[in-house]
Amino acid sequence: MKNNGREAAMKYVFFASACVSVGAVVLICIFMFANGVPAMGKIGFGNFLFGMKWKPELDLFGIFPMVMGSIAVTAAAIVLGVPVGILTAVFLARFCPKRIYPALKSGVELLAGIPSVVYGFFGLTAIVPLIGRIGGGSGTSILAAAIVLAVMILPTIVGVSEAAIRAVPSGYYEGSLALGACKERSVFFSELPAARSGIVAGIILGVGRAVGETMAVIMVAGNQAVMPRGLLKGVRTLTANIVLEMGYASGLHREALIATAVVLFFFILIINLIFMLAKKRGD
């Protein structure tokens, strides 16, 4: 009887914890939509989403340059970070000597624990001056933000991809070797296709990290509310736009920033939907 009572009590504790988590998400969504959607209506959905000018002092709230800035920075980070992440996962899962594996694995995991402001400071003091010397200008640019984000998303991509590769049945690898393939071909043409859904999941989770990053991007991207004009030019992302102006915004300006958060929410929602579809297709 005592065990049954404890089980029932723990059941309610777990249920309450789940309700708190779901309730927090619901409250955040209600707050954003209740304040953001009316602002879009006041500004005009077309003017807000596709407007080219963000000038709060003139009541111009067009976020299209920030949308394109977020896409440009994220896409560049993916191009730089995904190949490195997947190759690192392959090395850790199949080629890394056991003696150095703990050190390398700990180093990759340590990247996930470094605060984003530290990444931003590193980018500001090391990457930005280097880009400025090579390409001219101040150095704060899409490229600088992409390099910083590429490093930041590595732990996610490496961790999930390595787990997916290790989960592939050994028969794929051994069967490929039995047919005469070398070790590298067996890994890249037998195991990686079998681990595709897990690798895609890691990439999409990394994309979500890149889209939502704020502090590091603010420090190195230039924060110019203009359309992307090249890798060496500055941009402003959606997250940076919210953080930079929310402290002093009021009235319609503040509502427009909350509406920007709504757009960012849909970005993350789309990424999660892609993740679910990719996982379902892989299964």
Closest-CA residue to 197 (of 155, 150, 163, 152): 163
Res. 279 pLDDT band, cuts 50 70 90: low
Contact of 222 with 235, CB cutoff 8 Å? yes
Whether 23 maps to a domain, the answer reads: yes
Q: Alpha-carbon distance 76 to 141, whole Å?
A: 11
Are residue 22 and residue 75 in the same domain, yes or no? Answer: no
The pLDDT assigned to 196 comes to: 82
Report the chain's mean pLDDT, rounded to a whole number. 86
- Over the stretch 130-172, which tens digit does the pLDDT of each residue have? 999 988 778 899 999 999 999 999 999 999 999 988 888 877 7
Are residue 27 and residue 81 in the same domain, yes or no? Answer: no
Are residue 41 and residue 175 in the same domain, yes or no? Answer: no
The CATH number of the domain where 191 resides is what? 1.10.3720.10
The pLDDT assigned to 267 comes to: 82
Are residue 148 and residue 196 in the same domain, yes or no? Answer: yes
The pLDDT assigned to 123 comes to: 92
- Over the stretch 230-259, which tens digit does the pLDDT of each residue have? 889 889 999 999 988 888 888 889 999 999
Q: Which residues are bridge partners to 60 per DSSP? A: 55
Q: Which residue has the tokens 């624990």?
A: 113
Which string of b and e fits 231-244 if b means at least 16 CB within 10 Å?
Answer: ebbbbbbbbbbbbb
Count of structural domains within the chain: 2
Are residue 32 and residue 79 in the same domain, yes or no? Answer: no
Res. 121 pLDDT band, cuts 50 70 90: very high
Closest-CA residue to 240 (of 263, 216, 258): 216
Q: Alpha-carbon distance 184 to 259, whole Å?
A: 49
User: Who wins on pLDDT, 228 or 184?
Assistant: 228
Q: Tell me the three state secondary structure of residue 281.
A: helix
The H or E element that residue 246 is part of is: helix 238-246
The pLDDT assigned to 195 comes to: 82
For residue 173, pLDDT beyond 80: no
Are residue 115 and residue 73 in the same domain, yes or no? Answer: yes
Contact of 140 with 234, CB cutoff 8 Å? yes
Domain coverage including residue 34? 2-49
